[in-house]
Amino acid sequence: MTTIRITSPSHSTDHEISIGRGTLPAAGAWARKCVGSGAQRALIVSNSTVYELYGSEVATSLASAGFGVSSFLMKDGERNKTLRTAESALAAFSDAGLTRTDVVIALGGGVVGDLGGFAAAIYLRGLRLLQVPTSLLAMIDSSVGGKTGVNTAFGKNLTGAFHQPSGVLIDANVLATLPARETTAGLCEMVKHGALAGRGLLDQTVAFLSSLEIDRFASSGIVELIAENVRYKASIVAGDERESSNRRDQRSRKILNFGHTLAHALEKVTNYRYFRHGEAVGYGILFAADLSKSLALCPEKDVNLLNDVVHRAGILPSLAGIDADEVLAAFDLDKKVIAGNLQMVLLKGIGEPVIVTDIPQATLRTTLQQFFMSRG
């Protein structure tokens, strides 16, 4: 088991992220260690897909550690990450009689983690939360950093709360049941981290991708690769936990939005139904790399390397039928727009992110049109 300690300046939200294989059967003892002896009840937030696979194992383990266990199962899918679902979760918390000393356990992908985390953040003004991420994306990204939230009619992820978990438990064995598209989506977010962190992490990712083609997730490299991704994201979050709006340096939390400007626009124009989020990020990485080249920021060899790595992560859904102009218009609604300027994370090279605010509209348009022509 690899353990990563997450600390904050005040130490009030310090916790550990534990990563290994076959960790779920010991989830009860782990939860007890994280929240102490005072907690009597544990409520598992999950969905039926994940709960059918792993729910009873976790519930049994929690019960044997002395928790009174109940559950709230949301419908699967991004479209259910809503205030309405959060309200149903709150009602389930109330029915279960959760008190301030009890704990919510989010067992699932990023959707479950964001929604369960948000409900935990607001119920009784904050219940303790444990994250048990089961998708690759949730393991390396959404369960790290304390952001929780839901989607609303006026935007994706715009309503939420910072709520750090009291612990995160990762069992790499559950990746065996993850659908192929979800695997690709998680790998694309890993490539994002590699592009930002530098050649060390990117090369480690490439090496893992080669082994993945042979033995899926049986390779021993996966635990260490997840750990490296967690360490990288946690290191950025530690320096800028609340994503300060005035920071634009290489270590500001905003840089984690690399690949997300196009991704959010693609998701929006397809009504969040066509792409998995991480797949859209795959395209977003490629577009940000192309734009970095158009602006003479990034050497061609780094752009080619990113193309190669994203390609190895899996097949992305076709862009045919998506209108580049509509995508360009959707950029303007991205939440990274501050005071009318499009802020985009670009690269001066692998491991050298830069936040650019003065991208000429003509370059943006031409690069996007070329991007769609070459891939549509």
Rounded least distance, CB 361 to ligand NAD, Å: 28
Which CB atom, from 116 or from 349, has the smaller least distance to ligand NAD?
116
Q: Using DSSP, state whether 369 is helix, strand or coil.
A: helix
Rounded least distance, CB 198 to ligand NAD, Å: 21
Question: Cα–Cα distance between 236 and 297 in angstroms, integer?
Answer: 23
Which CB atom, from 218 or from 297, has the smaller least distance to ligand NAD?
218
- What is the pairing mode between strands 353-356 and 344-347? antiparallel
Q: Is 253 a catalytic residue?
A: yes
Instruction: Give the CA radius of gyration of the chain.
Output: 20
Q: Is 260 a catalytic residue?
A: yes
Rounded least distance, CB 9 to ligand NAD, Å: 20
Q: Is 307 a catalytic residue?
A: no
Is 269 within 8 Å of 341 (Cβ atoms)?
no
Q: Is 257 a catalytic residue?
A: yes
Which segments of 19-141 does DSSP mark as H helices, in order?
Answer: 27-35, 48-50, 56-64, 83-95, 110-122, 136-137
- What is the pairing mode between strands 15-20 and 2-6? antiparallel
∠ CA 190-191-193, nearest 5°, is 65
Please identify which residue in the block is written with the tokens 């910072």.
162
Instruction: Give the max Cα distance, the chain.
Output: 62
Tell me 75's DSSP state.
Answer: P
Catalytic residue among 15, 193, 254, 264: 264
Phi and psi at 22, nearest 5°, equal 70, 35
Catalytic residue among 253, 276, 293, 336: 253
Which CB atom, from 178 or from 295, has the smaller least distance to ligand NAD?
178
Which CB atom, from 128 or from 147, has the smaller least distance to ligand NAD?
147
Q: Is 224 a catalytic residue?
A: no
Which CB atom, from 205 or from 257, has the smaller least distance to ligand NAD?
257
Catalytic residue among 5, 11, 125, 273: 125
Question: Cα–Cα distance between 182 and 108 in angstroms, integer?
Answer: 12
Catalytic residue among 257, 267, 276, 293: 257
Q: Is 193 a catalytic residue?
A: no
Catalytic residue among 15, 81, 147, 163: 147
Q: Is 147 a catalytic residue?
A: yes
Rounded least distance, CB 30 to ligand NAD, Å: 18
**List of residues contacting ligand NAD (CB under 6 A):** 47, 49-50, 53, 76, 78, 81, 108-112, 114, 134-135, 137-138, 141-142, 145, 147, 157, 174, 177-178, 182, 185, 277-278
Amino acid found at 44: I
Rounded least distance, CB 371 to ligand NAD, Å: 23
Helix axes 83-95, 110-122, angle to 10 degrees: 60
Rounded least distance, CB 144 to ligand NAD, Å: 7
Q: Which residues are catalytic?
A: 125, 147, 189, 233, 243, 253, 257, 260, 264, 277
